[in-house]
Amino acid sequence: MKHVVLFSGGIGSWAAAKRVWARNPDELILLFTDTKTEDEDLYRFITEAADNVDGELVTIADGRDVWEVFFDNRMIGNTRADICSRVLKRDLARTWIEDNCDPDDTIIYMGIDWTEAHRYERARPRWEPWRLEAPLTESPLLSKTELFQWATDNDLRPPRLYDMGFPHNNCGGFCVKQGHAAFKNLLEQMPDRYAYHEQKEQEFREYVGKDVAILRDRQGGDTKPFTLVQLRERLEQSGEQLVLDDWGGCGCMVD
């Protein structure tokens, strides 16, 4: 029986793999889909995490980064349409699994925990005929803090983005599905990286000749595109509190 963990580089996917490893699987495969937009520390973590669970780390990639996907499709990702995740993660992983595994002899695992069990239930029918499981939705139920401690107890240093206040370890702290608060954190923690995405968004707007943006501004009751330039300027000029409890977040293998 093959056991394939969708290995994102986050603490949850490692913990899920750890629970699968405890079942003494015949074959444990850790499938990492590289968006070419990742934080450099992610690669350190997945290598050490794979060694920790004694799994085979398989890395696949389309070869493009998220912005190349946006430009090639003339469509920018946002909370409603994560074309980057579909092309660089979901479709890629599905193709690899179909080419290398038999649904009658394979179980797929994801790192979603009990706080997002509804997303797991939503994902299950989309993976048919494959059997999909989410070990962190099962008892004992662990908090994120407990997962970090579990990793530390295994002499495994969690990815640095968590210490920088990011809720995930995907795409270098950048995600088209995250909210104002997460982008504010990116601006504060990694201003150069924020500046890069700000520039690419402006280039994309000029390329398609349309008023499009990753974010939305809902002030005044109207919803309109809200660029990373506008977010930065609003924060710098007035310190206005925007919707800074809106972190949003990725669901690359789910949504």
* Residue 230 pLDDT greater than 90, yes or no: yes
pLDDT, one tens digit per residue, over 202-220 is 999 999 999 999 999 887 7
Percentage of residues in the chain with pLDDT exceeding 70? 93
Q: Is the dihedral of CA 230, 233, 237, 243 positive or negative?
A: positive
Mean per-residue pLDDT of the chain:
92
Average pLDDT score over residue span 149-165: 97
At 237 the pLDDT is 84
Average pLDDT score over residue span 7-26: 95
pTM of the full structure: 0.92
At 145 the pLDDT is 95
Residue extents of the structural domains in the chain: 2-160, 172-238
At 148 the pLDDT is 97
- Amino acid letter, 177: K
Measured CA to CA, the distance from residue 89 to residue 67 in angstroms comes to: 14
2-160 has which CATH code? 3.40.50.620
Measured CA to CA, the distance from residue 3 to residue 246 in angstroms comes to: 35
Measured CA to CA, the distance from residue 131 to residue 148 in angstroms comes to: 28
pLDDT, one tens digit per residue, over 74-132 is 999 988 889 999 999 999 999 999 999 999 999 999 999 999 889 899 999 999 999 99
**Nearest to residue 49, comparing CAs of 24, 32, 35, 27?**
32
* Residue 250 pLDDT greater than 70, yes or no: no
pLDDT, one tens digit per residue, over 231-246 is 999 998 875 555 555 5
pLDDT tier at 252, thresholds 50, 70, 90 = low
pLDDT, one tens digit per residue, over 33-52 is 999 999 999 999 999 999 99
pLDDT tier at 222, thresholds 50, 70, 90 = confident
Contact yes or no for 124/132 (Cβ under 8 A):
yes
At 219 the pLDDT is 77
